[in-house]
A = this chain, B = another copy of it.
Amino acid sequence: MAKSSSTRTTPAWKRAGNNRTNASARKDGDGNYVHNEILLALPRVEVEVVLPKLEFVRLKLRQVLHEAGETLKSAYFCDSGMFSVLNVMPGGKSVEVGLIGKEGFSGTPLVAGFRTSHTRTVVQGDGAAFRMDADALRSALPKCPTLERQLNRYAQLLAVQVTQVAACNRLHDVNERLARWLLMTQDRVGSENLPLTQEFLAQMLGTRRSSVTVSAGTLQKAGLISYTRGNVTIHDRRRLEKASCDCYGLLQLQVKEWQSQDA
Q: Tell me the number of copies of this protein.
A: 2
Closest residue of chain B to A87 (Cβ to Cβ) is: B167
Which residues of B have CB within 8 Å of A160?
109, 118
Question: Per-position contact with B for A166-199: 1 when CB-CB < 8 Å, else 0?
Answer: 1101110000000000000000000000000000
User: Is A215's CB within 8 Å of the partner chain B?
Assistant: no
Which residues of B have CB within 8 Å of A155?
112, 155-156, 159
Contact in complex: A114, B171 (CB < 8 Å): no
Contact in complex: B170, A206 (CB < 8 Å): yes
Which residues of B have CB within 8 Å of A90?
246, 250
Contact in complex: B153, A262 (CB < 8 Å): no
Chain A interface residue count, CB cutoff 8 Å, equals: 44
Q: Within A75-120, which residues are at the interface with B (CB < 8 Å)? A: 85, 87, 89-90, 93-95, 97, 108-109, 111-116, 118-119
Which residues of B have CB within 8 Å of A257?
116
Main SS of the interface on chain A? helix
Complex Cα–Cα for A152 and B109 (A): 10
Which residues of B have CB within 8 Å of A254?
118
Give the B-binding residues of A (Cβ under 8 A): 85, 87, 89-90, 93-95, 97, 108-109, 111-116, 118-119, 149, 152-153, 155-156, 158-160, 162-167, 169-171, 206, 246, 250, 254, 257-258, 261-263
21 A-B residue pairs with Cβ-Cβ distance under 8 Å, sorted by A, are A87-B166, A87-B167, A89-B246, A95-B171, A97-B166, A108-B156, A109-B160, A112-B152, A112-B263, A113-B149, A113-B152, A113-B262, A113-B263, A114-B153, A115-B261, A116-B261, A118-B164, A118-B254, A162-B162, A166-B166, A169-B170
